[in-house]
């Protein structure tokens, strides 16, 4: 059986929502010979989402479905906007179980616990399974989502995903779950491989590097950053940026994110970070609001990257995923890339997807989107770095390979 029969990708750039959904679904389902078991669906904010899903389900019926809105779509067509992309999985020897958690912005942790409980109510817990999650990208602290997931699944359980977007409006996002449209939820797909016939390659890299400084976070309240070294966080950040760049706050935050220095494991020279991007600033209070919290006591560095560095970061993520796959043949690539990368790359954004496909195989089906935050382990090849983390400005790749 060839890889294309197990995975199909559909794409539509039609303006009419129902027709676009139907076209993309027909294309994806057709490539699997109609055997589809689960769907990932990512789409632009510009659609009428109920109509879009009605078009999809007119083809797919009650097939398990998760996904949502984006800040740009990724498919074999490259990077697109105003489009819908669908990946259909048809593996007879894999199990796909979806789940949903509600009211994310009220309590991110409780919402993610609800999602896991929903999934585990439908399937037995398998510590070797993989969970892909798609939270409301405007739903609060990304770190608290992970706390809830890992509380039930364990610290080293494989979790990847992307925070859903809204075409850079930064107002509200939609989630798709089994043919219906939701707001303020987390949707997820658990993928289980009972016969251990597959491997999953995960790559997480940004291309951003430290500018050499190091600061300790001495005061934060959730995802509001108050002080570094007992000095106002915004004041220090402005000093670093200089007057001209500081005048471009908060947009300039995309170019100079904070990096929480990952100290583990001891003795290794490679310094890795979990990046945190400022979303807004409060000039009166001197604070910076981030996409996820920086815990007090964390050692933080300021980082930056050129367009070339960012593209190289995507290549490093692909190489890392390939290394984890070992000799397994890639059958599907799911790519989460931060909207900040897209904005910094500008006209070079297609190159990011290009280097990933060149590395993992230009004919391997690919789907993904530009996110408001990414989830993945810092390095799956190192035991101490198996635990999934929240990232900004980063590429996370999930690659399914046949052993």
Per the CB < 8 A criterion, the answer to whether 76 and 9 are in contact is yes
**Choice among 61-70, 371-380, 393-402 with the minimum mean pLDDT:** 371-380
**130-135 and 158-162 beta bridge pairing:** parallel
CA distance 169 to 179: 24
CA distance 135 to 48: 20
Closest CA to 101 of 87, 90, 117: 117
Strand partners of residue 398:
202, 334
Structure tokens at 348: 């070079």
Could you read off the pLDDT of 272-323 as tens digits, one per residue? 789 999 888 999 999 999 988 899 999 999 999 999 999 999 999 999 999 9
Record the pTM: 0.94
Could you read off the pLDDT of 2-30 as tens digits, one per residue? 445 799 999 999 999 999 999 999 999 99
CA distance 177 to 188: 9
Model pLDDT, residue 272: 76
Spell out a b/e string for 32-53, using b for 16 or more CB atoms within 10 Å of the CB, else e.
Answer: beeebbbbbbbbbbebebebbb
Cis amide bond preceding 331, omega within 30: no
Q: What is the mean pLDDT of residues 208-227?
A: 92
Domains of the chain in sequence order: 3-205+309-402 (no CATH), 209-304 (2.40.30)
């Amino acid at each position: 059986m060839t890889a294309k029969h197990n995975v199909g990708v559909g794409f539509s750039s039609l303006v009419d929502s129902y027709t676009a959904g139907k076209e993309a679904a027909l294309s994806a389902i057709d490539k699997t010979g109609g055997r589809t078991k689960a769907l990932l669906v990512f789409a632009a904010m510009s659609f009428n989402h109920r109509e879009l899903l009605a078009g999809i389900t007119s083809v797919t019926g009650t097939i398990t479905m998760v996904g949502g809105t984006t800040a740009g779509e990724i498919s074999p067509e490259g990077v697109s906007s105003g489009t819908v992309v669908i990946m259909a999985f048809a593996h007879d020897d894999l199990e796909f179980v979806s789940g949903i958690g509600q009211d994310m912005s009220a309590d991110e942790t409780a919402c993610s616990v609800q999602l896991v409980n929903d999934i585990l109510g439908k399937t037995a817990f398998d510590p070797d399974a993989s969970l892909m999650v798609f939270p409301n990208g405007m739903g609060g602290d990304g770190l608290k989502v992970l706390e809830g997931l890992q509380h039930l699944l364990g610290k080293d359980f494989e979790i990847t995903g992307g925070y859903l977007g809204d075409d850079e409006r930064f107002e509200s996002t939609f989630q798709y779950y089994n043919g219906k449209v939701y707001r303020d939820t987390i949707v997820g797909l658990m993928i289980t491989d009972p016969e251990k016939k597959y491997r999953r390659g995960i790559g997480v890299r940004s291309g951003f590097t430290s500018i050499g400084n190091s600061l300790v976070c001495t005061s934060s309240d959730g995802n509001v950053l108050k002080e570094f070294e007992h000095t106002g966080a915004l004041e220090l950040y402005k000093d670093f940026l200089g007057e001209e760049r500081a005048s471009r706050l908060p947009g300039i935050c995309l170019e100079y994110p904070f990096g929480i220095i990952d100290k583990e494991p001891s003795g290794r020279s490679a310094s890795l970070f979990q990046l945190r991007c400022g979303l807004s600033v409060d000039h009166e209070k001197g604070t910076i609001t981030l996409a996820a919290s920086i815990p007090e006591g964390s050692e933080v560095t300021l980082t930056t990257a050129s367009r070339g560095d960012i593209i190289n970061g995507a290549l490093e993520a692909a190489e890392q995923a390939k290394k984890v796959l070992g000799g397994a043949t890639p059958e599907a690539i799911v790519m989460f890339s931060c909207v900040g990368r897209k904005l910094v790359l500008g006209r070079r954004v297609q190159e990011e997807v290009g280097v990933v496909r060149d590395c993992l195989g230009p004919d391997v089906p690919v789907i993904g989107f530009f996110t408001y935050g990414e989830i993945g382990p810092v390095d799956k090849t190192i035991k101490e770095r198996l635990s999934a983390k929240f990232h900004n400005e980063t590429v996370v790749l999930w690659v399914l390979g046949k052993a």
